[in-house]
Structure 1
Amino acid sequence: MASSLDPAMTIGNPLKWLLRQPDGPQQLRRALWAALAGLGAFYALRYGFEQPDMALYALFGAVPLTLFSQIPGTARQRTRTLLAVLPVGLVLVTAGTLLAAHSWSAACGMFVVTFVTSYLGVGGPGLGGLATSFQLYYLLPCFPPYAPETLGHRLTGLAAGILLSALVDRLLWAGPRPAPYRLLLADAVEAMADYCATVGRLTAGDATDMSHDQGQVARTLLATRMSQVAPPERPTAASLRDRALYDTRATLRHVGNQLDRLAARAHNPDPPTARLLEQTATALRQAAHTLRTEDPAPAAADALAEAVDVFAAERTRIVVGASARQLRQHAIAIGTAEATLLVTEGARIAFGAPLGARWRHPGGPFRYATLSAPTRWWLRLRVHLTPRSVLLQNALRSAVALAGARLVVGALDLPHGFWVLLATLSLLRTSASDTRGALLPAFLGTALGAAVAAVLVIAVGDVPAFYIAVAPVVLVLGFGVGPVLGPAWVQGALTITLVVVFAQIEPPELQIPTWRFLDVVIGGSLGAAASLLAWPRGAQGELRCSVADFMELGAQGVTAVTGRLSHHRADGTTVLGPARRAMQLAQAAYAQHRTERASPQGTEPPWELAMAPGYSAIGGGELLLSGHSRDTTPLPPEAARQLAALAERVADGYRRSAEAVRRGGAVAPEDPGPYRADESGPLSAVTRNSTDAPASAVLLVADLESWLTGIRYDTAEFDRAYSGGRT
């Protein structure tokens, strides 16, 4: 059977070939959207109203939104976004027009606009996807001629372009939409429910094969990684829905780790654990239903909460005389159920349900659900106000590059200086090597496009009808097929499009294609210089440090939570705060790293495994703090001492792994010591004196010991993978 790239099929039916490409339908829709909205507004104003200035701004009001921006959501949501863009665009065009009087004022405005629009991308893909459009709205009017008297025409044209873009978006066919993140997460939750039910049958004494369920969990969880999700659908915004969905995914991974540990230990039948896991599986299925239907029904969560209370009472009743192995198994089982309660609550919060009474306490896992939207935004922005944030680095790099390019254009008095900054904006990448790799295709594509445009200008001359007819053809073909064929084709299509458009504003000259090529060379070179001087390694230069910091602060959280619960200190609501902030910086660096094409130097650590113990430390630690913070019963001194020693050993192991990540070397070998339940120091100490120690103290020791050994389990998994060369 012929492949999708079969040359004969490509020539014979190019449309079918394009629609079979992964991004083909989406790119074709974008190109048609740009042609109908941008060129439609341009032709109406240029030839219907004889307003060339207004027409140009209408075109550049529509093209950035249709071709260069990522606007997530349904058609109705996209319309609201486009209408919200209008006032911002009017302000930016006004600012660009007024600041164009001097190169220095235009460059200062360029720095501020670029930095603010880029940095606001930390709030999620909605704003981040519009940054390029906002920057272009300022770029176009901030060049000579300084003509504030034309501001009314410019604003009218921009408004016409944006409004027509919103209208065409609703009339054009819907086009392929990436799978919503909630559905990907629902698949993972449902797979986890099946796995939980299988482990429940195993603990009930039924022999069963878990390989299929484990494989399905791994596949569906992989599909929910940020690097596997389309950018517009990533739950990275500061909104309540995205925060809840993101935390639900992190907690679901913790549920999977707990089930893995139960599956490895289930040898003897344990009916109470089996019943609890059955209720847990039911609650997971209800959470999956909530994610699919956006209906936050609480019934299954309430039933699981009751089952957890019943199981906790049963644990208390049989604690005297229980073996260390049984204590740990019950601790892991109740930890699994409580983490599932977090999954169900997170799914409900994501779709508008109020925070449940169970979680309304200081330092709870859903404290952000009690905050106002401006407060959540400020906290997100504040986390990344550090030189260690790759998002802040990107904003500064882009702002310096574009402001510097604007100063160069003004100093050299370059004609069509807008094209220089357009090239800088389109070719600048997050690392020097990626920027360098983008330059050659851009130069080649621009040279080819300039040559074709020069032939058109020589052969056709000043014949507007020809350019009117050819402009939509070039735009649709260039931006419908070009992105599939490669970046060189896009730059060539952009060059021809700009020439045929400007040929309708002023008489075409042979110098225009030449200046277009020179402007791309100058702009691309300025972008390469900026990427070389400002954090040239991109996320690769920051990822190791960010992940290592997260690991070290996670290790601090391990000892802090253990000390807080062992000695009942009052700082439990803040001990995990530094680790959580470091986690957000590491996640941002990892997400950017997955978008960079530069080959890493040396063997990379398995980053997800490196961060897994930190996720367990934060998620499990918060559950322990919320579940045991009200208990003031003192632990037996020997058990407290053993817990402190175990916590220190677990933290030391995690620190050693962090140091290996930071230095880029293998983890130094170490004897992990006795982590099995029947050899555990804390559990052995408390079970020997279970008749003297209060039941609550025994259960606290079991829960802490289970949490600590689980973190050590995750750390050992990373150590084995990294030392064995897995990436």
Structure 2
Amino acid sequence: MRARPSADDRVQALRRAVRITAAATAGFLPLVYWLDAPVAALYALFTPIALGALSPLPGSGRDRASLVVRALPWALGLVALGTALAVGTAAAVGGMLVVGFVLSFGAAGGPRPAAAAPGLQLFYILASFPPYAPDTLPERLAGVLVGGVLLVTAESLLLPAPAVASCRLRLAEALDLAASAAVQAARRGAVDGATARRLRAAGQELRMSRLPPSVRPAGVGRTDRALAQTAMAVRRLLDQLAGSVRWPADRAAPEAASALLLREVADACRGSARALRGRGPAPGPAALSEVVADFLRTRASTGDTADDAAVAVERRRSAVLAVAVPALIAQTAVAVGAGAREVPPGIPREQFWYADEPTVRLWLRRLAGNMTAQSVVLQSALRTAAGLGAARLVAGTLDLQHGFWVLLAVLTLGRTTVRATWSAVRAGILGTFFGASAAGLLVLGVGDAPGVYAMIMVPLMLLAFAVGPVAGTAWAQGLFTVLVATAFAQLSSASWRIAETRMLDVLTGCAVGLLCGVLAWPAGAREELRRSVSDLLRSVAPLVPATAGALVPAPERSGGDGGAAGTVPVSAQELDRAVHRLRLAEAAYAQCRSEPGGAGGGGPDWLAALNSAVHVLIGARWLPRLSRDPTAVPGPSAIWAREAALGLQVATVRAASFPPGGVSAGEAVRMPGAAVCAGPALPVLTDLENWFAVLAAELEAVGAPQQDPGEAGADGPARARGTEALRAPSGAVGPAGPRHRSPPGPPGVRPP
């Protein structure tokens, strides 16, 4: 059922309607009645409708005005192209296929090009229909310019949309909160319950789905990529700090090395927050990296024995290091976003590969990454291009009088699933029927009296764009039908048959849209989400034993007594392949959330599956770097690490089939008492144990249905089932294994 619009939605729709009406009528009416320029008037009318109503441009009034300015050159070019290709149906159809695909595929560039695409489509559609009149091109372009300038003025000055807090400001506030929590943990040993709740809530607010489209860092450029990476790292940092509430029950202050590292994390967060607010240069991660290096050297000085106290200290240190690494990533990303081109030593260069890449190459990489049948962006682009091309072919072949309405119906009523398309088509046909009936009665009653239509047009347009967006598809189609009838009645002799033409064209467009919906990915993104997440889990599964092997070699490789860590590199090709599949799965998840039924519906917890893959990837990149020197690992420890890693690999592959009850990795992820007596190898083993515990918890959560498909997170069902597995040590280690759950996950490993 369609959600009831809020009071704010209705107010914003009214304000938008005022701006569109002012811009459209201020250009249309003078051009018709004062300058006798009907062609220019038509384009001046549809420019505000295309870029103000059909394209839901995000942001404040100033942001929208800027986007309209940037879209105008594209609009002028599309009008010129459509005018030239209107010479014949074949040429117009070919152009429609190319334009439809290019503009739709441009959605890969982020929310701004995605929002502008539908409106830009209209400029080509309008110009590509007969009559073929290249001599009218100057008038057409003049009309677009007039309408565009008036829309820019209206968006800037007339009830402009309010500004929202930028992504930079939101990140700065979250980093300030993280800094205060890190200081609290350094003093008391953990954060209190109230602070933990604030940290988790702040992390949820940084999710892409919670950020308004106008501030969402989903673009292709270096700055957007850096801000997106900062947001991911800050969410992990906040979640790790919130997890410290589950550290040992005595809340004793951490030992000196851990306290020093937490304070340096706080300083790094404050420095990055100042830079994001524009109050100073972005500090590089050099200082924090040095403290982390000292911390690792302290960990490496562990004695040859591993009694209960030593194990507790090392597990606490592992949890503290899990706080420091996302802080390092966030600080580096802020510096890159501010213009840094070099990634300091010790930071995985592949995480910041975009730091010194030119914008053109960033665009090419984004587009090339989506040139696969698994990309929902490509699927949507192909579906849209095929629908618009077919509609243009039908309209041209049947020589429909107002054939562009056929394409407009496909453009406005098409959805990503056949079920949603059918729902929109039913409402659209119903609304068009009543709208066409009202338009026919209006023309019969008024006759050929342009002045009357001019007086009716302003309140009718205001009503159409104020009520339609909040009342639903039927109202929008009905009111728009009456509106276009009044507009065309002022451009040529009015006849009640315009209502008949509108109805016939909309029915034709609905039929074409439905056919494309049935033939082209009728299930939308849901099936693609299942496939892409399954492929993702299978691609990351081998990284678990590979990472464990880089830290703890298999016993047979060292004569059965263990050996030096860090001898097996994780394959860069496997990492790149997994990251690519992660991006495709994230795009499918985002689209699925926008479809009826969302990404939930009682099925697998897709977000938990994505989180599990992210945990594997970050652990694969960072854990080998945290083993600074080769360390002898006893045979029992090597056997445990290898078997636990292989067990998690098998469990990850099983999870790719999404069993209803989830996948249990068993007790193998817990380090047995015989293995923890590892002396200097204990830090490596505790990092692995923490990582294994988080992965096991996420895999179990994959089978849990989501109650809130869009916002499951640290406090949602996907997290709840794994909470117990993330608790800090509180019991001693005995022969039967530790009598506790594992502490928070490995360095930097938290949900995306």
TM-score (norm 2): 0.85
- Letter in structure 2 aligned against 1:707: W
Rounded Cα–Cα distance in structure 2 between residues aligned with 1:46 and 1:102 = 29
Matches within 5 A, 1:21-40: 21-40=7-26
Q: How far off its partner does 1:143 sit? A: 1.1
Give the number of equivalent residue pairs. Answer: 689
Whose helix fraction is larger, Structure 1's or Structure 2's? 1
Stretch deviating more after TM superposition (83-92 or 177-186): 177-186
Q: Name 1:304's counterpart in structure 2.
A: 288
Say whether residues 1:326 and 2:349 are aligned partners: no
- Letter in structure 1 aligned against 2:294: V
Q: How far off its partner does 1:58 sit? A: 1.8
Q: Name 1:649's counterpart in structure 2.
A: 647
- Residues 306 and 600 of structure 1: CA distance in aligned 2, closer, same or farther (over 3 Å): closer
3-state SS of paired residue (1:56): helix
Rounded Cα–Cα distance in structure 2 between residues aligned with 1:681 and 1:375 = 52
- Residues 255 and 603 of structure 1: CA distance in aligned 2, closer, same or farther (over 3 Å): same
Stretch deviating more after TM superposition (155-164 or 126-135): 155-164
Say whether residues 1:224 and 2:225 are aligned partners: no
3-state SS of paired residue (2:490): coil
Q: Name 2:387's counterpart in structure 1.
A: 401
Q: Name 1:584's counterpart in structure 2.
A: 583
- Residues 32 and 319 of structure 1: CA distance in aligned 2, closer, same or farther (over 3 Å): farther
- Residues 570 and 318 of structure 1: CA distance in aligned 2, closer, same or farther (over 3 Å): closer
Rounded Cα–Cα distance in structure 1 between residues aligned with 2:296 and 2:519 = 59
Judge conservation of contact 1:190–1:285 (CA < 8 Å) in 2: yes
Matches within 5 A, 1:230-379: 230-259=212-241, 262-267=244-249, 269=252, 270-272=254-256, 273-291=258-276, 293-295=277-279, 297-298=281-282, 303-322=287-306, 323-358=310-345, 362-363=349-350, 365-379=351-365
- Residues 556 and 595 of structure 1: CA distance in aligned 2, closer, same or farther (over 3 Å): same
Q: How far off its partner does 1:187 sit? A: 4.6
Judge conservation of contact 1:250–1:615 (CA < 8 Å) in 2: no
Q: Deviations over 1:278-331 (max 9, x none)?
A: 43244334444444x144644595553343233223223335434344333322
Q: Deviations over 1:200-240 (max 9, x none)?
A: 45537xxx742x23332333333333333333332211122
Rounded Cα–Cα distance in structure 1 between residues aligned with 2:531 and 2:359 = 31
Matches within 5 A, 1:194-213: 194-203=180-189, 209-210=192-193, 212-213=194-195
- Residues 317 and 625 of structure 1: CA distance in aligned 2, closer, same or farther (over 3 Å): closer
Rounded Cα–Cα distance in structure 2 between residues aligned with 1:43 and 1:659 = 61
- Letter in structure 1 aligned against 2:220: A
Q: Name 1:603's counterpart in structure 2.
A: 602
- Letter in structure 2 aligned against 1:712: A
Rounded Cα–Cα distance in structure 1 between residues aligned with 2:269 and 2:415 = 41
Query: In structure 2, which of residues 113, 123, 147 is the aligned counterpart of residue 161 of structure 1?
Result: 147
Judge conservation of contact 2:206–2:235 (CA < 8 Å) in 1: no
- Residues 227 and 524 of structure 1: CA distance in aligned 2, closer, same or farther (over 3 Å): farther
Judge conservation of contact 1:564–1:571 (CA < 8 Å) in 2: yes
- Residues 305 and 599 of structure 1: CA distance in aligned 2, closer, same or farther (over 3 Å): closer
Q: Name 2:699's counterpart in structure 1.
A: 715
- Residues 260 and 40 of structure 1: CA distance in aligned 2, closer, same or farther (over 3 Å): closer
3-state SS of paired residue (1:22): helix
Say whether residues 1:673 and 2:693 are aligned partners: no
Q: How far off its partner does 1:361 sit? A: 6.3
Judge conservation of contact 2:354–2:362 (CA < 8 Å) in 1: yes
Judge conservation of contact 1:642–1:681 (CA < 8 Å) in 2: no
Matches within 5 A, 1:58-207: 58-73=44-59, 77-203=63-189
Q: Name 1:12's counterpart in structure 2.
A: none
Q: How far off its partner does 1:267 sit? A: 4.4
Q: Deviations over 1:473-530 (max 9, x none)?
A: 1111210232222222211221111011101110110000121122112212211111
Judge conservation of contact 1:394–1:430 (CA < 8 Å) in 2: yes
- Letter in structure 2 aligned against 1:703: D
Stretch deviating more after TM superposition (641-650 or 399-408): 641-650
Say whether residues 1:465 and 2:451 are aligned partners: yes
Q: Name 1:13's counterpart in structure 2.
A: none
Rounded Cα–Cα distance in structure 1 between residues aligned with 2:352 and 2:142 = 46
User: Percent sequence identity over matched residues?
Assistant: 33
- Letter in structure 1 aligned against 2:324: A
Rounded Cα–Cα distance in structure 2 between residues aligned with 1:354 and 1:369 = 5
Query: In structure 1, which of residues 430, 440, 448 is the aligned counterpart of residue 426 of structure 2?
Result: 440
Q: Name 2:542's counterpart in structure 1.
A: 556
Q: Deviations over 1:63-112 (max 9, x none)?
A: 21111223345555544432332222222112111212222221111111
Q: Deviations over 1:519-577 (max 9, x none)?
A: 11221221111111110110112111112222222222223333345553456543311
- Residues 325 and 551 of structure 1: CA distance in aligned 2, closer, same or farther (over 3 Å): farther
Stretch deviating more after TM superposition (617-626 or 382-391): 617-626
Judge conservation of contact 1:362–1:573 (CA < 8 Å) in 2: no
- Letter in structure 2 aligned against 1:425: L
Q: How far off its partner does 1:667 sit? A: 2.5
TM-score (norm 1): 0.87
3-state SS of paired residue (1:228): coil
- Residues 671 and 406 of structure 1: CA distance in aligned 2, closer, same or farther (over 3 Å): closer
Q: Name 1:617's counterpart in structure 2.
A: 616
Rounded Cα–Cα distance in structure 2 between residues aligned with 1:535 and 1:105 = 27
Structure 2: gaps spanning 5 or more residues:
553-565, 708-715, 719-752
- Residues 108 and 682 of structure 1: CA distance in aligned 2, closer, same or farther (over 3 Å): farther
3-state SS of paired residue (1:357): coil
Query: In structure 2, which of residues 384, 404, 414 is the aligned counterpart of residue 428 of structure 1?
Result: 414
Rounded Cα–Cα distance in structure 2 between residues aligned with 1:257 and 1:168 = 43
Rounded Cα–Cα distance in structure 2 between residues aligned with 1:671 and 1:633 = 27
- Residues 187 and 492 of structure 1: CA distance in aligned 2, closer, same or farther (over 3 Å): farther
3-state SS of paired residue (1:238): coil
3-state SS of paired residue (1:385): coil
Q: Name 1:14's counterpart in structure 2.
A: none
Q: Deviations over 1:375-395 (max 9, x none)?
A: 111111111111111111100
Rounded Cα–Cα distance in structure 1 between residues aligned with 2:13 and 2:228 = 29
Rounded Cα–Cα distance in structure 1 between residues aligned with 2:409 and 2:216 = 28
3-state SS of paired residue (1:504): helix
- Residues 261 and 551 of structure 1: CA distance in aligned 2, closer, same or farther (over 3 Å): farther
- Letter in structure 1 aligned against 2:390: G
- Letter in structure 1 aligned against 2:529: L
Q: How far off its partner does 1:179 sit? A: 4.0
3-state SS of paired residue (1:443): helix
Q: How far off its partner does 1:599 sit? A: 6.9
- Letter in structure 1 aligned against 2:648: V
Rounded Cα–Cα distance in structure 2 between residues aligned with 1:681 and 1:141 = 77
Judge conservation of contact 1:482–1:489 (CA < 8 Å) in 2: yes
- Residues 202 and 656 of structure 1: CA distance in aligned 2, closer, same or farther (over 3 Å): farther
Stretch deviating more after TM superposition (646-655 or 555-564): 555-564
Q: How far off its partner does 1:191 sit? A: 4.5
Rounded Cα–Cα distance in structure 2 between residues aligned with 1:117 and 1:84 = 14
- Residues 671 and 394 of structure 1: CA distance in aligned 2, closer, same or farther (over 3 Å): closer
Q: How far off its partner does 1:399 sit? A: 0.6
- Letter in structure 2 aligned against 1:321: T
- Letter in structure 2 aligned against 1:234: R
RMSD of aligned residue pairs (Cα, Å): 3.0
3-state SS of paired residue (1:318): coil
Judge conservation of contact 1:453–1:496 (CA < 8 Å) in 2: yes
3-state SS of paired residue (1:575): helix
Judge conservation of contact 1:70–1:126 (CA < 8 Å) in 2: no
